[in-house]
A = this chain, B = another copy of it.
Amino acid sequence: MNETLNTLFNHVSVREYLDRKVDDETLNLILKAACSGSTMGNMQLFSVIVTRDEAMKQKLAPLHFNQPMATKAPLILTFCADFRRFNRYCEFRDAETEAYSNLQSYHWAVIDALIAAQNACVAAESLGLGFCWLGTITYNVDKFIEVLNLPKHVIPVACIPMGYPVAKPALTQKLPVEAMVHYETYQDYDKEKIDHLYAEKESSEETQQLLRENNLPNLAQIFTQKRYVKADNEHFAKVLLDALKKQGFMQ
């Protein structure tokens, strides 16, 4: 197994960071990796906002529901789907400026932003850093747009605090690879298959402890009743759709 595969296979989310800065040299390697990935038509439809300033972290913290990763990490990278730069290029070259004000164009920019974000993560982990994706960036997208001063055609899609790990956690228990893989066409999931694929996860001590803490009979209900509840999801779906309209991607 080569070193790159070793980095990929041993990924873990790190939520506690040492009080140690990420130096500019390391940051620049991570940013270079972010900018080295595939991109739609070589348009490079993303931007990354680097947060290191303490006052800015404090402003962003409530939007991340004050999760400690958002305040304690020395470095936060926020990746945005960005058609602004390319549209400005078009504007200054007398080209059509409203060709990319639609959902398809947004989708391309999301893809570019996430390729860049994951490249940054792989680079960071190879350099001994730890990180953790914050789902909150997709919830409070309207407020992040305001605080980060994002113009039309820019929407944040990934927010990743990074730092040197206090400790390297154990690997997260995941579904077996076969759960995600289909050959030639999609093979749907019946009860037997679901039971089989989730068996190890459901019987783990980690799950058992969660069931006791939540006083619920299974993991699925912890998700639907506690973690990601229908009404919240639908609320944040509306926030996202409104942001897409406001940022000019639904024309």
Contacts of A10 in B (CB 8 A): 36
From A15-23, A26-34, A64-72, A161-169, give the one contacting chain B.
Answer: A26-34
Give A130-156 as 1s and 0s: 1 = Cβ < 8 Å from B's Cβ atoms.
001101001100000001111100100
Q: Chain A contact residues (Cβ within 8 angstroms of B): what range?
A: 35 or more
For A114, give its contact among B29, B84, B115, B177 (CB under 8 Å): B115
A90 CB contact (under 8 Å) in B41, B138, B151, B223: B223
- Asked whether any CB of chain B lies closer than 8 Å to the CB of A208, the reply is no
Partner among B35, B80, B93, B217 whose Cβ is within 8 Å of the Cβ of A218: B93
Please pick, from B49, B80, B89, B154, the residue contacting A220 in the complex, using a CB distance under 8 A: B89
The chain B residue with its CB closest to the CB of A7 is B4
The chain A residues found within 8 Å of chain B, CB to CB, are 1-5, 7-11, 13, 28-29, 31-44, 46-53, 56, 80, 82, 84-86, 88-90, 92-96, 98-100, 102-105, 107-108, 110-111, 114-119, 121-123, 126-127, 132-133, 135, 138-139, 147-151, 154, 157-158, 172-175, 177, 179-186, 188-189, 191, 194-195, 197-198, 217-221, 223-225, 227-230, 233-234, 236-237, 239-241, 251
